[in-house]
Structure 1
């Protein structure tokens, strides 16, 4: 089996690419980073350092190669050779690569290939593959769209593995460090043809339960650790969560967001409480040095209507559940300042020019006036 993976960065190599290669899938990375692409072509392997309480080891990933995404024709030609396409590039880049994917699908059909092709966007976003499908279909003719509906599976997934940036190792420039924990859950109802057997890829027919579990727990907790930790003067996630006050606050926030998940999806309360503890332990991993500015970047996206802070808050409103800690967490997100982050600069400018109330309404799109007032009050108290 052969796969084309867009994105040869830390997540691409350390998470999805490794899982595929470990299941004897030949992985071809597509990226615009010339040095990384050339190294992958030359070495056809790379090392992954896995760190955690019970493990600190380096594993070699083999049977890999690469193509430069700037060489579009070579990229398009690969679509007639592969059985699976995956991505780990981020929402903005997905829009950029959608044109090449559309051309690749068209070329595959023009070559008379009618075996199914499955595409999985492994992104930190809700229904990322559905988003990618819409972008790809914008570039397809109606005839090719109809054929793609039959032969191309656009499979949504939920991914979870902390892969922080680390100082490059000059002696091993492709080395990537990842945490021991990983989770890749896919919507089994969206595949076309036989579902590939990939160790570490879990199947579900209720993906949204796991998408929101991750969003409301890992993503919410990570962001809150960053914003509250930064407000207290910390530089790293690990040192932030080691502060008992920060840890207690983050846990309380995740318990409020967790109550929404328990109500909505029927997660067992004890099992979810254990999941929260596992997340807190991951934040404290002594081998992962993750900067609060990296985790807290793009605050406007994190404060948007369907993201990690506002969506769980909306759930508490929907079910009439407590949300005092979530409101305080949103207030701390509003305090995030980073001159190197355009969204943080825009947030600060909006607060200065338009005030807290207008800023909260604009970026969160919340409608509940009482809750908005509580966020304003909490921000002003900080």
Structure 2
């Protein structure tokens, strides 16, 4: 079996590419970083540090690489069995035309074997959104063939893969935590579901998508924003501060009540999941910057993302949300001059005021009772009274 994976960064190499290779699948990485591509193409392997209580160094083998801007990518899509991505939500639209060309070439070459595409991104129904972008450049008369032969499989992915510099200077070496979770919608595959250890096909994907978004992503973001606000450099250092930890745990418990109401999760098991995430944030082997985790605050404050979506759930089920509001106020206070969205956010607040800026970004109506609370928390943080 052959796979083409877009994105040879840390997540691509340390998570998805590793699981595919471990399953005996030949993986070709497609990326724009020519130095990384050249090294992968030359060595056909790379090292992964899996860190935790029992740290190991593992070698990922049977890999290759090509430049994602080359026509060679189209030829690969025409023949491989699986296409995966780990490029970031904003990049999917950029690679969609290339994937569409590959699918058209596949049809022209008479390749009717099933092809499954899985976008492994931090977004809800990422592959379905990717499909919409791909179909923009697929001729109408091919839509039926594509829907019959190409599976667009949504997934939920969870593994902390922070930037890490190799002690030996190896640009391919990557560090990952022991924990990983890759859940896919079993109903969206075309043909047999590939047997990949670590990939779990399920019927109720949205329950797992929201469990991860409302818990890991929500907690991670709030840890980052509160840590950055208090001039704390890393996620580990931030979560070890009792005051921050209490808010993060409280926010995950508030979002957890939404999940319990919505999907009938077992409360005891979900609380254990929350505690597991807190220990993952504490991992002393992972050095993850609060600035990195907090980047792109406007995306994270959008209606369907990790801060606002669980908040909307608390409205729906009439649940408490005081810790979520603190996290949102901290996100609105994120001031990082190296982050384009953070600069844009600060400018919007300066020009239009906190209420209008928050409501515009989040989609929440300005007459919602939580808006004055957000404004009060934001102002307190601005005045260093939090």
TM above 0.5, yes or no, is yes
Q: What is the aligned partner in structure 1 of residue 21 from structure 2?
A: 21
Q: Who is 1:7 aligned against?
A: 7
Distance 2:110 2:342 in 1: 49
Structure 2 counterpart of 1:67: 66
Aligned counterparts of 1:35 and 1:177: Cα–Cα separation in 2? 19
Residue 57 of structure 1 and its aligned partner are, at CA, apart by: 1.1
Deviation readout 1:140-164 (Å, 9 max, x if unpaired): 0012221001000000000000000
Question: Quick check: 158-167 or 371-380, which moved more?
Answer: 371-380
SS at match of 2:190: coil
Equivalents in 2 of 1:356, 1:108: separation in Å?
A: 51
Counterpart among 111, 114, 122 of residue 112 in structure 2: 114
Using a 3 Å threshold, how does the CA distance of structure 1 residues 91 and 228 change in structure 2: closer, same or farther?
A: same
Counterparts of 1:171 and 1:160, CA distance in 2: 27
Separation in structure 1 between the aligned mates of residue 143 and residue 2 of structure 2, nearest angstrom: 24
Quote the residue 1:57 is aligned against. 56
Larger displacement relative to structure 2 (367-376 or 143-152): 367-376
Match of 2:274 in 1: 276
Listed as ranges, the matches of 1:297-308 within 5 Å are 297-308=295-306
CA distances 1:96-150 after superposition (whole Å, capped 9, x unpaired): 1111110101111111111110000000110000011000000100122210010
Shift of 1:168: 4.1
Contact 1:169–1:175, Cα closer than 8 Å, also in 2: no
Structure 2 CA distance, aligned partners of 1:263 and 1:185?
A: 21
Q: Does the 8 Å CA contact 2:96/2:130 hold for their aligned counterparts? A: yes
Aligned twin of 1:82: 80
Return the alpha-carbon distance in structure 2 between the equivalents of residues 280 and 115 of structure 1.
44
**1:141, 1:80 → 2: CA distance?**
16
Q: Which deviates more from structure 2 when the two are superposed, residues 343-352 or residues 186-195?
A: 343-352
Runs of 4+ in 1 over 6 A off after TM superposition: none
- When normalised by structure 2's length, the TM-score is 0.97
Q: What residue in structure 1 maps to residue 335 of structure 2?
A: 337
Q: Which residue of 1 aligns with 2:293?
A: 295
TM-superposed deviation, 1:327: 1.1
Give, in angstroms, the shift of residue 179 of structure 1: 0.4
Query: Which region of structure 1 is more displaced relative to structure 2, 263-272 or 364-373?
Result: 364-373
Counterpart-to-counterpart distance in 2, 1:75 and 1:168: 29
What is aligned with 2:97? 99
Other-structure match for 2:227: 229
- Determine which of 122, 125, 130 is the counterpart of 1:124: 122
Q: How many Å apart are 1:80 and its aligned residue?
A: 2.8
> What is the DSSP-based 3-state SS (H/G/I as helix, E as strand, rest coil) of the residue aligned with 1:50?
strand
C-alpha distance in 1 between matches for 2:350 and 2:340: 15
Residue 70 of structure 1 and its aligned partner are, at CA, apart by: 2.0
**C-alpha distance in 1 between matches for 2:304 and 2:69:** 33
TM-score normalised by the chain length of structure 1: 0.98
Q: Is the 8 A contact 2:8 2:31 kept in 1?
A: yes
Q: Secondary structure at the match of 2:353?
A: helix
Q: For each residue in 1:319-375, what CA deviation from the matched residue of structure 2 results, as whole angstroms up to 9, or x when unmatched?
A: 000111111111111111000111111111111121111111111110252111221
Task: Determine helix, strand or coil for the equivalent of 1:192.
Answer: coil
Give the whole-Å Cα distance in 2 for the aligned partners of 1:345 and 1:168: 31
The runs of 5 or more residues in structure 2 that have no matched partner are 382-386
Specify the alignment match of 1:32 in structure 2. Answer: 32
Q: Which position in structure 2 is the counterpart of 1:184? A: 182
Work out whether residues 260 and 316 of structure 1, in 8 Å CA contact, stay in contact via their aligned partners in 2.
yes
Please give the root-mean-square deviation of Cα atoms over the aligned residues, in Å. 0.9
- Contact 1:46-1:60 within 8 A present in 2 as well: yes
Match of 2:242 in 1: 244
Query: Cα deviations across residues 190-228 of structure 1 (Å, max 9, x unaligned)?
Result: 000011000000011110100000000000000100111
The equivalent residue for 2:375 is 376
For 2:384, the equivalent position in structure 1 comes to none
